[in-house]
Chains A and B, each alone.
Chain A
């Protein structure tokens, strides 16, 4: 199709050096001004916004945690009322899971995956912009509701019938359920983009067995999102329908059942844990290879472990329901399937340990966080084996033991690698290094604070403290450990304050990073820091799993992409052989307008079913605008 155009158009083999860069920059640059910023479809711009927004929600969620720790630091405290506390613990869980943990991982993927696979933009960049706006609006919707005292107060799991209209006649559960819809739309969109980017936009020569481990991790995560999130969308939408138009999916008095909610919720909820953890493992693999100064041992083992984890994660949701009165043999089988996931997780840990064993570790802050991750996560995994056991779970379920367990897994397994990743990729994203001195303080405060805050909770659970209680009496012997835990939480919070200080200072006056400050091996380090709008002047050709270690001086490249319009190179799925040049969308305001129309529709429909009627035309209009044939050269030819 494009053969005829060849004679007319300017290709990147015609220019070199600065002239080439300038020309590409002009084509790929986000337009200036406020309108331009709102139109941006650059994965780096969107990714940066995504990361910053997700961290803002981390900060908010963390503040809520501090409020809870103040309330629980002593018995019979009246710092928070029961009503405020219930809103706060619900908001903490929902914010951390839906507005921080999942989005922040996707945010890093949005920024990094196109760079790591050596392409110029993410697949479906306008969908990507739309996804960010939906995430932003959904998060703001939740937090504005909270500020207006309509914050959800039925737990991040919103069990029916407590969350039904009969027992919670306010709008609070609707806000929660619709926030889910927002964030799930955003997450599903990103997942599709990541899968297509990884499958079709890889640099020539990046065969399946040369894909960086972080990219593999995000690929598996994206599939998990696509299979797990529909379950929660079905669940939360039917909850809204039950509450709005009395559909009775969950009403046991008319043929529904409350356990249906639990099955749907946990069929999503358990894979969700791995949606958060698997990207963390990808970050660990990336950081470990760079700072152990050798490739991760067992590349195929790690990938197969990721895939096995993905599959297994769908077969163990019932361990959240061991005390709902299920048949005993069935529950016992879910014990075995839950523990089985220790095998792929264990294999990855063993590969990382072997890598460190053989490597020559350079102890910079990112590696410190990875080592902290191993120590904490293994402990969390082992307490996970305990809670997988039916008899043990009947004691520790819904107690502080479980609170300790999943914070070890989620903070240890995802947040520690994430903070490591911030230190690791900050130079790439901003062009400046974070302070190493503050970084060390940050790590040690986080490591000590975390363990002091969360380890005592294991014991609290065993000595009888249930979760989600806004207070406890003095005669329960829980006061000392709670006080200790609150003290640890304060130290842990301080470590995040230090990270923030470090970021602010380093943004202004950090040392300049250069292209590849860590001498890392993957393609994102082959371009400048921060990368130019076009990512790479020429698309690299990959001949090895660690291209930059193989070829320090000059990376081989392909040429032939257009210099007159946005173009990316599509390659084949397995072998990454070049197939076709493909136009990449120009900036557009329509994703934002569509997101606004969708937001109005979503928020309206928790108040009246008529919103489905009057909310659809604006969405249709914006979508028509979005997909209006733009008359690109490709279309004309």
Chain B
């Protein structure tokens, strides 16, 4: 029975379900920084286009124009040689001026992109093979909490992310908001960005980090400041306790079947540290680090066999009876 249950759920998991992925494009800037970078890019692109077209034209004309006499390779026309030398020299100088100019444009853009705001909202993000731990830290511990693979931020306010790694090197990249920054073992990096508009912006690990590097995405949800405040208050709370019998059974099985060894559900005895915090997993938009949209079907398929969806990830396939799986699924869905 459990086997049939799993095979029944698996096809749902591999359905390409759109809409909640979010934007992920440097050409679609929704943040102050990505906008600045795109402007710098367009300056470079214009210069590059002009240079490339000019070279191609000179090449074409050079090939088509009337030529000197053949078969006299060493009969060189000295005035031409001198002129050619001068032209090459001038073009070399022009190249120098262009690259120095572009260096200045680049540095000006860099200063804007990396400008720091003292009052930025600060988050800590810790990269794991292959998911993102997100820590909202506050001066008072009762306002600090941990979540995973989903970052909610207020629009119009600078956000500072402090980047660390729990294992290998990863890279934090949300192209619609800003450029990337590595999460390096034994080092603390930071990155600031400001979302201009509300929306869902997809991010993805950009540094090869092992087997499932391809499935290490996350979502940034930019909310209006009010909405953000409400979400933060809610997210800070401990998990809902289920009231229905199935949910209660699920909560018990969550601990009895080993889930709690790796996962934390705040306000319960589940306090594992190896996997993502699941306190409000029922309100997240995706599962398995952006691999799939979160629906009962995908979550069920994931619990049934995580190795099918994301082979090699560190969540083992647990030996669950199908009724146990349904109970746990019911419980997790209630963790809104």
Contact = CB atoms under 8 A, between A and B. Distances in A.
A473 interface: yes
Interface stretch (A58-66, A104-112, A394-402, A597-605): A394-402
B92 to A, nearest CB: 5
A29 B93 CA distance: 52
Contact of A350 (B73, B88, B103): B88
A351 interface: yes
B318 interface: no
Interface in B94-132: 95-96, 98-100, 102-103, 105-107, 109-114, 129
Contacts of B312: 82-83
B85 A297 contact: yes
A379 B48 CA distance: 8
B84 interface: yes
A378 to B, nearest CB: 5
Interface in A353-399: 353-354, 356-361, 371, 374-375, 378-379, 382-383, 385-386, 388-399
A331 B110 contact: yes
B17 A386 contact: no
A339 interface: yes
Contacts of A76: 14, 16
A241 B106 CA distance: 40
A341 B176 CA distance: 31
A150 interface: no
Given A161-B168, A374-B59, A386-B48, A521 B16 contact: no
B204 A394 contact: no
A295 B62 CA distance: 16
Contact of B52 (A339, A354, A379): A379
Contacts of A75: 16
Interface in B184-232: 184-187, 189-190, 202, 204-214
B79 to A, nearest CB: 11
Interface residues of B, number: 96
Interface stretch (A16-24, A321-329, A502-510): A321-329
Nearest to B34: A395
Contacts of A358: 68, 77, 80, 84
Contacts of A297: 81, 84-85, 88
Contacts of B16: 75-76, 473-475
Contacts of B59: 353, 356, 371, 374-375
A546 B70 CA distance: 16
Contacts of A252: 185-187
B74 interface: yes
B206 A397 contact: yes
Contacts of A83: 211, 311-312
B63 interface: yes
B112 to A, nearest CB: 8
Nearest to A255: B186
Interface in A483-527: 521
A246 interface: no
A375 B59 CA distance: 9
Interface string A150-176: 000111000101100001100000000
Interface stretch (B35-43, B133-141, B146-154, B265-273): B35-43
Interface stretch (A127-135, A217-225, A459-467, A578-586): A459-467
A431 B61 CA distance: 35
Given A328-B110, A395-B37, A464-B175, A339 B186 contact: no
Given A162-B209, A294-B76, A374-B55, A394 B180 contact: yes
Mostly, the A contact residues are: helix
B73 A295 contact: yes
Contact of B179 (A332, A391, A546): A391
A257 interface: yes
Contacts of A257: 186-187
Contacts of B18: 474-475
Contact of B21 (A155, A253, A361, A475): A475
Given A162-B209, A293-B71, A546-B73, A350 B44 contact: no
B179 A323 contact: yes
Nearest to A474: B16
B324 interface: no
A81 B311 contact: yes
Given A295-B74, A374-B59, A392-B44, A324 B182 contact: yes
B178 interface: yes
Contact of B106 (A354, A392, A546): A392
A259 interface: yes
A472 interface: yes
A471 interface: yes
A390 B110 contact: yes
Given A258-B184, A353-B62, A472-B214, A159 B207 contact: yes
B68 A357 contact: no
B32 to A, nearest CB: 12
Nearest to A159: B169
Contact of A167 (B19, B88, B91, B167): B167
Given A343-B99, A359-B68, A298 B27 contact: no
B173 interface: yes
Contact of B169 (A162, A294, A379, A468): A162
A293 B70 contact: yes
Contacts of A393: 179
A378 B55 contact: yes
A257 B165 CA distance: 13
B219 to A, nearest CB: 12
Given A295-B74, A346-B92, A475-B19, A371 B63 contact: yes
A335 B114 CA distance: 15
A349 interface: yes
Nearest to A362: B70
A537 B40 CA distance: 61
A582 B101 CA distance: 54
A476 interface: yes
Contacts of B36: 391
A359 B62 CA distance: 9
- Between B71, B95, B171, B204, the greatest number of chain A beta carbons within 10 A of the residue's beta carbon is seen for B95
A391 B186 contact: no
Contacts of A339: 99-100, 102-103
Contact of A332 (B24, B40, B107): B107
Nearest to B94: A346
Contacts of B3: none
Most buried by A among B63, B185, B209: B185
B4 interface: no
Interface of A: 75-76, 81-83, 86, 153-155, 159, 161-162, 167-168, 252-253, 257-259, 293-295, 297-298, 301, 323-325, 328, 331-332, 335-336, 339-340, 342-343, 346-347, 349-351, 353-354, 356-361, 371, 374-375, 378-379, 382-383, 385-386, 388-399, 462-464, 466-476, 521, 546, 549-550
15 contacts: A76-B14, A155-B208, A294-B68, A298-B85, A324-B184, A350-B88, A354-B84, A361-B67, A371-B59, A385-B44, A391-B40, A392-B41, A394-B180, A395-B26, A397-B180
Interface of B: 14, 16-19, 21, 24-28, 34, 36-37, 40-41, 44-45, 47-48, 51-52, 55-56, 58-59, 61-63, 65, 67-71, 73-74, 76-77, 80-81, 84-85, 87-88, 91-92, 95-96, 98-100, 102-103, 105-107, 109-114, 129, 167-169, 171, 173, 175, 178-182, 184-187, 189-190, 202, 204-214, 291, 311-312
Given A259-B184, A389-B44, A467-B206, 19 more contacts: A82-B312, A83-B211, A154-B210, A167-B167, A167-B168, A324-B189, A328-B111, A335-B103, A347-B91, A361-B63, A361-B67, A378-B51, A386-B48, A389-B106, A391-B37, A391-B109, A463-B28, A475-B19, A475-B21
